[in-house]
Structure 1
């Protein structure tokens, strides 16, 4: 699956100095009216704020490992000064990470955006968990090819990851692959032993990861590690902010004039819910799709950016799985003379529709009049029908399909 990678040594927007941590910024956005106060989000913001303060004085000491480490948890016990490992050195106490759990639309991504940008850490990485595991498997393969006599590649791999970033922020933490499940316990043992701090968002509680699947028993040690080393914060708000944000807003605005642009500006700000506007790169099997304007759960493009260049189904699926909301400015009337653009638009709408993405657009005409008569008009009929359905109240209630 196409995923987003964000690696940073500097935040995507200026970070307030002093005591302006996640909770202070959350409170400021509530006071400014860009966020509604939510007790569950406030609870999570307070926990992230505590971690932010602990990180200001934390600098992990990566020690030399002994040739052998006894037991699954031996390295972790040694790292924490509990004995059971040779060569352990005393280091600063590692702050406990945070694992935010909640259904779609509860504000997990917004809170992660806020925390990641403010985190006072030079070497930090934010990545979709599925993409992280793809990278892990690729590195393991490369290490085995380069060093065929290497008995155990997990320790040096964990060392590489820890040296690159000792704050790891995972979006959509989920385990569905038995190959991932078999690696995770030992990999995270070594990561935690090297002082790595983990923050994650997920729809699944740690104790429910990879349950009722073949090999679930072998996965339990990893669950034990997560439960012991990372605090779980449940966002149990009854309100789905992604769905609520769609009600009452026009989704198809005609004509595509200055007033339409201003209306889409307002919609973009509302859907962003206080998240910073920033650039995002989506990794599509090693190729990067650049999103010039995104904020939390929404991205915005001009029609020419999406359909006037050589993009395909994989690009559109990447956008559709990453962003629950998409704004498109200046959708033109189309016909045989620009059928290539129309064809890409058809593929784009199919991807958005299949993933239940909420589309907001300014256009030269209504969907059923968007394509002029002539070659290609028949192929556009289904797209026009889908565009009409995507404006309905029932479609607005559908949950976004992120994978």
Structure 2
């Protein structure tokens, strides 16, 4: 029987949300020893050295704060910053290094994307999130970004309270922390919060070729909808949904439930994919694409080619990096189903 994602209503407990905050399967086995710095990019070897040194500190259980440590900030490292921030383009190994740091650190610890973190806080509430995370040794945040003023205020308050509680932070992004939010909202109006976030981090730049300079991969030719439905019906564990039904259903679910929506699914089929004009719909599909990519779920697609999913205006706007990442991932997943 074909699974219909648009007919699923998953319930997700706070314990599950927290337990799932680990590196995705494709980064489950990475370690510092498996990172290969580009000899032509010395910043990569430097970042590896800095992260390895930080990992030695984080491998030790967190010590109870002393009077003097409280005066200088309980979360402060010997370098004076409670967090490390890896800035650089796509494909230079930032996530590899971040996941390696998480694997080396003592627990309790957490690994999530920035979107997952905001979704977690939205699901739990700020107070409950602070209570749940204040005892953690380390929180790793991949793809750090600010999408709107609400995120800025929320994450600024959350990280400020966690740092005060002694939690150490590590993050990756392709935007310097003091430039977060530019092009997406009036960041100048929230300069104090952005500067407070930036102050938590020791920034390390990792240079290397950016995949965007090579262009997006060409999307496979979409299949006729009848063929998409036939493939889904013949493939065990496959879901099949009309594109409009799926994105309307996503609007009725909290994004923290998108992972649970895919429980037991082995492949995803979508018929009648259409170009998007609504940014809210587009951003929900970005989150779903990330959860599909984490689980390495092959995609069978009908309708327009995937590289036409986001409009030219969207690909020039403030969420450009999000859309390019989603396209790259969806195209990769669709190629897994190409004969």
CA distance in 1, matches of 2:295, 2:304: 11
Bigger CA radius of gyration: 1
CA distance in 2, matches of 1:92, 1:348: 51
Q: Residue deviations 1:220-263, cap 9 Å, x none?
A: 25524532x321011232x135776988x9979xxxxxxxxxxx
- Which residue number in structure 2 is paired with residue 161 of structure 1? 133
Instruction: In structure 2, list runs of 5 or more residues that go unmatched.
Output: 1-16, 222-253, 272-280, 311-322
In structure 1, which of residues 202, 205, 209 is the aligned counterpart of residue 180 of structure 2?
209
Instruction: Check conservation: 2:21, 2:111, Cα contact below 8 A.
Output: yes
- Which residue number in structure 2 is paired with residue 307 of structure 1? 269
Instruction: In structure 1, list runs of 5 or more residues that go unmatched.
Output: 16-20, 64-77, 142-152, 253-282, 293-300, 332-343, 365-403
In structure 2, which of residues 169, 194, 197 is the aligned counterpart of residue 198 of structure 1?
169
| Secondary structure of 2:21 counterpart | strand
- Which residue number in structure 2 is paired with residue 397 of structure 1? none
- Which residue number in structure 1 is paired with residue 90 of structure 2? 104
Deviation at 1:160, TM superposition (A): 2.2
With normalisation by structure 2, the TM-score equals 0.57
The verdict on how the C-alpha distance between 1:41 and 1:195 changes in structure 2, with shifts beyond 3 A counting, is same
In structure 2, which of residues 99, 118, 121 is the aligned counterpart of residue 113 of structure 1?
99
Deviation at 1:307, TM superposition (A): 2.7
With normalisation by structure 1, the TM-score equals 0.49
In angstroms, what is the RMSD of aligned CA positions? 5.0
Q: Where do 1:4-403 residues align within 5 Å? A: 6-8=20-22, 13=28, 22=32, 24-27=33-36, 38-61=41-64, 80-82=69-71, 96-116=82-102, 118-140=103-125, 153=127, 157-163=129-135, 165-211=136-182, 213-214=185-186, 216-224=188-196, 226-227=198-199, 229-237=200-208, 239-241=209-211, 284-287=255-258, 288-290=260-262, 305-307=267-269, 318=287, 320-321=289-290, 345-346=301-302, 350=306, 354=310, 355=323, 356-357=327-328, 358-359=331-332, 360-361=335-336, 363-364=338-339
The verdict on how the C-alpha distance between 1:122 and 1:320 changes in structure 2, with shifts beyond 3 A counting, is same
Deviation at 1:60, TM superposition (A): 4.4
Q: Residue deviations 1:119-175, cap 9 Å, x none?
A: 23221111121221232233338xxxxxxxxxxx4xx64232223x33111121111
Of structures 1 and 2, the one with the larger relative CO (CA 8 A, separation 6+) is 2
The verdict on how the C-alpha distance between 1:9 and 1:124 changes in structure 2, with shifts beyond 3 A counting, is farther
CA distance in 2, matches of 1:327, 1:139: 27
The verdict on how the C-alpha distance between 1:361 and 1:48 changes in structure 2, with shifts beyond 3 A counting, is same
| Secondary structure of 1:82 counterpart | helix
The verdict on how the C-alpha distance between 1:215 and 1:345 changes in structure 2, with shifts beyond 3 A counting, is closer
**Higher helix proportion (structure 1 or 2):** 2
CA distance in 1, matches of 2:141, 2:75: 28
